[in-house]
Homo-oligomer: A and B are copies of this chain.
Amino acid sequence: MTDAKIRLFVDCPLGAGQGVALSEGQANYLFAVMRLPLGAGVLVFNGTDGEWLATVAEGGKRTGRLVCLDPARPQVMPPDLWLLFAPVKKERTQFIVEKAVELGAARLCPVQTRFTNAERLRVDKARAHAIEAAEQCGATFVPPVEEVQPLDRLLSGWPEGRRILWADESLITTRQTLAALTPGPWAVLIGPEGGFSVEERDRLRAHPAVVPVSLGPRILRAETAAIAALTLWQSTLGDWT
């Protein structure tokens, strides 16, 4: 049982002796695909109560129940960092979501920009990908994925005190900008493949929360920029100490 390799995100409270009802998909995966027997160990987490070792109490092809035994890992919350990103093509958007979970973003906010086709993002699928990424990378937290919002509206109602590290392709400094960052709530903003429009760039430059940063002299694809910017923030102000 200590060999439990399967990790599942579950939507219920966790604690010693707590029963965990499985969804149809989870029951199918555990009992039809992985063929776990009664008494087998499974790791579960719900995003708030840490990771628990649970054991199979009932299992069928469509239903099943686990019971929590022992705490396996404490709850670890990511730093207060949001990722604002313009959805790109399906596979690469999936990648952005997966990587943001691995790299420890606390919230994912898809934004519609002038050169974004927001139809591209299925928020329900993005949420499922975030859960899957957390299950696979050992995270105990799953960042919420917000509904797509137009960039304009997001900037107009931007919360006071939260700054935005903007991966600005026209800017040339990286080190100086990073050295000057100060702790607090932050977001990282990544543009769409076609870049931001002239109006959007002007608006971003004039916004008091926005801090532009360069990601080097080469053109990065959106998902590379997302990973690079999250990495720079985490290693400067975040939990990569």
Contact = CB atoms under 8 A, between A and B. Distances in A.
Interface of A: 76, 95, 99, 102-104, 136-139, 172-175, 178, 214-221, 224, 227-228, 231-232, 234-236, 238-241
Contacts of A232: 231-232, 235
Nearest to A238: B216
Contacts of A102: 218-221, 224
Given A103-B216, A178-B235, A215-B231, 15 more contacts: A95-B95, A99-B224, A99-B227, A102-B219, A104-B217, A136-B221, A137-B220, A139-B218, A174-B235, A175-B235, A216-B239, A217-B239, A224-B227, A228-B231, A232-B232
* Chain A binding surface, main DSSP class: loop
A234 B221 contact: no
Nearest to A141: B218
Contacts of A224: 99, 102-103, 227
Contacts of A103: 216, 218, 220, 224, 228
Nearest to A228: B231
Contacts of A239: 216-217
Contacts of A238: 216
A98 to B, nearest CB: 8
A23 B100 CA distance: 40
B172 A241 contact: yes
Contacts of A228: 103, 227-228, 231
A220 B104 CA distance: 10
